[in-house]
Amino acid sequence: MLAGCATEPPAGIVVGPVEFSAPAGSLAPSLAAAGGGAVLSWLEPAGNGRFAFRTAVRRDGAWSANDPVVVSDSLFVNWADVPSVQPGDDGVWLAHWLRRAGHGTYAYHVYLAVSPDEGRSWGTPFVPHADRSETEHGFAALVPWMDGWAALWLDGRNTATDNPMTLRFATVAPAGTAGPELEVDPKVCDCCQTAVARTASGLVAVYRDRSDGEIRDIASRRFEGGRWTEPRMVSDDGWHYPGCPVNGPQLDARGDTVAVAWFTGANEIPHVYAAFSTDGGRSWGPRFQVDDGRPAGRVDVAWWGGQALVSWIEETGEAGEVRVRLVDQAGGRTPGTTVAHTPASRAAGFPRLVVVGDEAVVAWTQPGDSGGVRVAALARGS
């Protein structure tokens, strides 16, 4: 149920044409802001069973591509667990990707590398987790932190003995080294995306929790005094789901004001919600419905002025649409705007967005033999 209504509803959204297309078969887009521009990363086929992890930079509406970060036949290529790039200070970037670690379907590790020159060259890859078991390590999230970055990931070292998936954390230095690991949560959903943001008063992370009774709601924690706080539920949805929905939350922060978006199927009724915190994630306000009635989820969120821009996939009959809308802290919202028509199947992946100046940039995967990663820019309507 929608709560509240802004005195003046937020302005609408205008979608520009597709301005960047990666090659056929490309997938797994991710976006980040960098020095007044946007950085896109993605995977694309490179022949002979190999894939390339690539990046491109958008400045003043024009795109320029870099050489691949890595090309390999051992990359773990997946519709939901995707690599990313996170720019830091002074043109230094951190990239993460996934590499198979054994013969199991979901046996893979997180690899990181640092670029000193905005993605034109990359240092020696390294692994942030000491565990090298042939289990899942992925769904990583990166954010600039201190003089380097903070990294969060799902770690399956305990699943080899039928114990739960854990959530772990480490800092990363520009020299290309990871700090000591910390366990953030000993029992989480096995394959939902994680997210972490830097607030004015520290880090805040969100992820899909897993209770002993198989309730899979969204939890948040803050990093304070060198440790992670006890979890606080963003919303008590009460979604009982004896499996992983592969549909994690996202968040963005401006100062201590934080916006989070997530999907839930509680009571067998799917919804995408947004909620806000004004104290860096220590507490959360009421949830506001974002979807238009038939969401598949796969959300992202970014601050655009004083409102949160939320993206998701909405089912439309046998197909789907990538949609966006602005939501403010009183629950006021613009009409849902269609960015692209795409199937709601897994092949459509997870659309991603970033706000740079007065524009927002959205990336998605267009399935099909000639399809691939596509990017368009959004502007505010009058």
* Residue-range domains of the chain with CATH: 30-55+64-301 (2.120.10.10)
State the DSSP code for 242: S
Look at the block and give the residue holding tokens 């995408």.
Answer: 272
Torsion of CA 352, 360, 222, 90, to 10 degrees: 100
Model pTM?
A: 0.95
Going residue by residue through the chain, which has 382 residues, state the pLDDT in tens, using 9 for 90 and above.
333 333 344 568 999 999 999 999 999 999 999 988 999 999 999 999 999 999 999 999 999 999 999 999 999 999 999 999 999 988 999 999 999 998 999 999 999 999 999 999 999 999 999 999 999 999 999 999 999 999 999 999 999 999 999 999 999 999 999 999 999 999 999 999 999 999 999 999 999 999 999 999 999 999 999 999 999 999 999 999 999 999 999 999 999 999 999 999 999 999 999 999 999 999 999 999 999 999 999 999 999 999 999 999 999 988 999 999 999 999 999 999 999 999 999 999 999 999 999 999 999 999 999 999 999 999 998 7
Look at the block and give the residue holding tokens 């033999």.
Answer: 369
CA angle, residues 378, 358, 62, in degrees to nearest 5: 65
The answer to whether the CB of 220 falls within 8 A of the CB of 236 is no
